[in-house]
Amino acid sequence: MKIQYISINIRHDDESTLPLLDELIEYLRKKRVCIQLPDYQMIGDSRFAEYIVDNDNFINRTDCIVAIGGDGTFLRTARLFVDTGKPIFGINRGRMGFLTEFGPDEYLQYLEDIFSGRYRTAERPLLSATHRRKGKDTGTLCFLNDAVISKGAFSRAIRIELEIDGESLNAYSGDGLIVATSTGSTAYSLSAGGPIVVPATKDVFILNPVCPHTLAMRSMILPSTSIVKARILSEFKNLLLTIDGQEAIRIDGEDEVLFHQSDKKILLITHPRKNFYAILQEKLGWGESHALRTEN
């Protein structure tokens, strides 16, 4: 892949990113690459304003995308560029960084490999959530990590009825529901007691109740071809359907949300020296206690 244009996305209000952005731009200028930055006020007020382009060119006129930040920034970037089919290179400045695999102290050497054509990509599929009110679809949004039905500011539990492929599963009371992709299994779903699924497993997704009021209700792993319908039985107003932690849709009692397979996917440039298990060890601290015992 010949790289002529690179779009760089950062968190719009994170000024601590600017020194790293300066280093990256200096490197790319030497490569004679056309640098494209989004029209954020923070960038417009900085010395990088000359690289700002309009939104259409930023998204569609690019050969590779660099996301600088945590997984939240990567998710925003993935949603922006999902229809382009271009690979995304993540530089981690967040706390966990399951998606932004390259550290700020090493990314330049791996960018050099990318310009030489020596890199690998992983395809990550997205799922879709369709909101339905009174039998009519109001909109569909795709997600890379997870979609969450939550009770918002309400302190009382909400009641949700679940169907899978048209067959009734159950109804339960709790704080909500997480539907996660294999990529999102290490995000909110993991905090809520869900299983870790290797992202290379593209043909499944996770159904994970949040704090259900019954011990019998547990998370499930379903084939990606499944269609899950969640109907809100509680008569509350202004519940939330949150998509990848980025967008929130208001939902009410008797509304339905259908979760199903999407035809969209993103390409993630993967670290050549770290597989998923090594990243788990690094991010979750697996093996640290054994290492300490060995040292002592």
Identify the DSSP state of 60: H
Q: Which residues contact 134 (CB under 8 A, 6 or more apart)?
A: 254
- Catalytic one among 71, 146, 175, 244? 71
> pTM of the entire structure?
0.91
Domain span(s) for CATH 3.40.50.10330 in the chain: 5-119+272-290
Tens digits of residue pLDDT in 167-207: 999 999 999 999 999 999 999 999 999 999 999 998 999 99
Which helix (DSSP H) or strand (DSSP E) does residue 58 occupy? helix 55-60
**Pairing of β 204-210 and β 176-181:** antiparallel
Output the pLDDT for position 15. 94
The Cα–Cα gap between 99 and 89 comes to 9
> One-letter amino acid identity for 124?
R
Tens digits of residue pLDDT in 65-82: 999 999 999 999 999 999
Say if residue 209's pLDDT is above 60. Answer: yes
Q: What is the 3-state secondary structure (H, E, C) of 234-259?
A: CCCCCEEEEECCCEEEEECCCCEEEE
Domain span(s) for CATH 2.60.200.30 in the chain: 126-264
Specify whether the CB–CB gap between 220 and 193 falls below 8 A.
Answer: no
Looking at CATH, the fold of the domain delimited by 5-119+272-290 is given as Rossmann fold (3.40.50)
Under CATH, which architecture does the 126-264 domain have? Answer: Sandwich (2.60)
The Cα–Cα gap between 285 and 234 comes to 40
**Is 83 an active-site residue?**
no
The Cα–Cα gap between 87 and 89 comes to 7
